[in-house]
Amino acid sequence: MAAATPPTLDVARADACSRRNGHTAGIFGRHALPPLAQDEIHLWRLGVGALEVRPQPQGSTALLRELLSGYAGTDAFVIERDAHGKPRAPALGGLEFNLSHCRNVLVIAVTREQSLGVDIETPQRRVRSAALAQRFFTRAEATALAALDEAVRAAAFVRLWTHKEAVLKAIGSGLSFGLARLEFRLDAAGEVCLLESIAAEAGLAKDWRLHRFEPCPGFVGCLAWRGPPRRVRHLPAVD
Ligand SMILES: CC(C)(COP(=O)(O)OP(=O)(O)OC[C@H]1O[C@@H](n2cnc3c(N)ncnc32)[C@H](O)[C@@H]1OP(=O)(O)O)[C@@H](O)C(=O)NCCC(=O)NCCS
């Protein structure tokens, strides 16, 4: 549902909600939300100084509600979870979103009429998980990771992980889709450079858009959607 006027966030309620969930005030800042154009994705980063505790599922849902109601100009919606746990708000008629949290950072991506997925991680979080590549990634990905210097392998693993998870979250099935059913090409430095292939039910690899970003120092993130290019606008909340 497109708002007739630029959407605004009820800051007082967002602050109250934030305090209820143990956060400090001013999570979304004190300005009107910028208008969300049809070809735009707003990528909100909430955290670092603003979130003093790791967002809990209930807390991130409350913050998500405040943000969505700011865009939609209404509180009359329910955030539902589909069979795989992806949150959706059908009553908002085309307002699409996804979120990811890691430690004290939460990102929420919002757009119109375009399913999307976002994932953030810290290299530290998965540093002991690099061996998982052998088991869960494709053979080519595991080989590319194994060829890297140990010093860069963990970071490359996490970058690749965020790309995969963002796509799986855009599809909506999450990890149950199968991490090896999409394959990325890595360059010699371990940078993810291309979605090489994906299981047919998720469309053509060339139709997928991947937007990598650094939510804040020490974190990596990826935003994914299947469709035409969109402008990604980064909107850091007050830290
Ligand atoms: C979604 C999933 C990839 C989460 O990964 P993670 O790195 O641990 O967590 P993130 O912080 O990046 O993402 C969690 C958020 O993704 C969203 N999410 C949950 N399931 C999702 C899905 N299937 N697709 C897209 N987004 C999903 C939620 O908003 C969740 O946060 P919230 O619970 O606070 O609202 C993983 O839990 C998964 O694969 N879930 C699906 C499990 C499934 O298929 N269950 C079937 C029913 S039993």
Residue ranges of domains in the chain? 11-113+228-236, 121-224
Q: Determine the CATH number of domain 11-113+228-236.
A: 3.90.470
Q: What is the rounded end-to-end Cα distance, in angstroms, of the chain?
A: 30
And the tokens for 110?
Answer: 């919002």
What pLDDT, on the 0 to 100 scale, is given for residue 18? 46
Tell me the pTM.
0.87
Q: Cα dist. 206→49, 81, 144, 179, 214 in Å?
A: 38, 29, 21, 18, 24
Phi, psi of 121 (to 5 degrees): -150, 165
Among 70, 118, 68, 76, which Cα is nearest to 94's?
68
What pLDDT, on the 0 to 100 scale, is given for residue 104? 81
Q: Does the CB atom of residue 169 touch ligand 1 within 6 A? A: yes
Mean pLDDT of the chain, nearest integer: 83
What pLDDT, on the 0 to 100 scale, is given for residue 236? 76
- pLDDT tens column, 100-119: 998 888 899 999 999 999 99
Q: What is the pLDDT along the chain (239 residues), one digit of tens a residue?
A: 333 333 434 344 444 444 444 443 345 554 568 999 999 999 999 864 544 444 455 567 888 998 999 999 899 999 999 999 999 999 998 999 999 998 888 899 999 999 999 999 987 655 555 677 888 899 999 999 989 988 888 899 999 999 999 999 999 999 999 999 999 999 999 999 999 999 999 999 999 999 999 998 889 999 999 999 999 999 976 54
Among 59, 38, 41, 58, which Cα is nearest to 50's?
59
- Give the CATH number of domain 121-224; options: 3.90.470.20, 3.40.1130.10, 3.20.20.80, 3.30.465.10: 3.90.470.20
Among 132, 137, 105, which Cα is nearest to 118's?
105
Q: Does the CB atom of residue 176 touch ligand 1 within 6 A? A: yes
* Common-topology check for domains 11-113+228-236 and 121-224: yes
Q: Does the CB atom of residue 221 touch ligand 1 within 6 A? A: no
Q: Cα dist. 114→47, 71, 95, 98, 183 in Å?
A: 25, 15, 8, 11, 22
From 68, 78, 100, 122, mutation site for ligand 1 pocket: most ligand atoms within 8 A of C-beta: 100
46 with 21: CB under 8 angstroms?
Answer: no
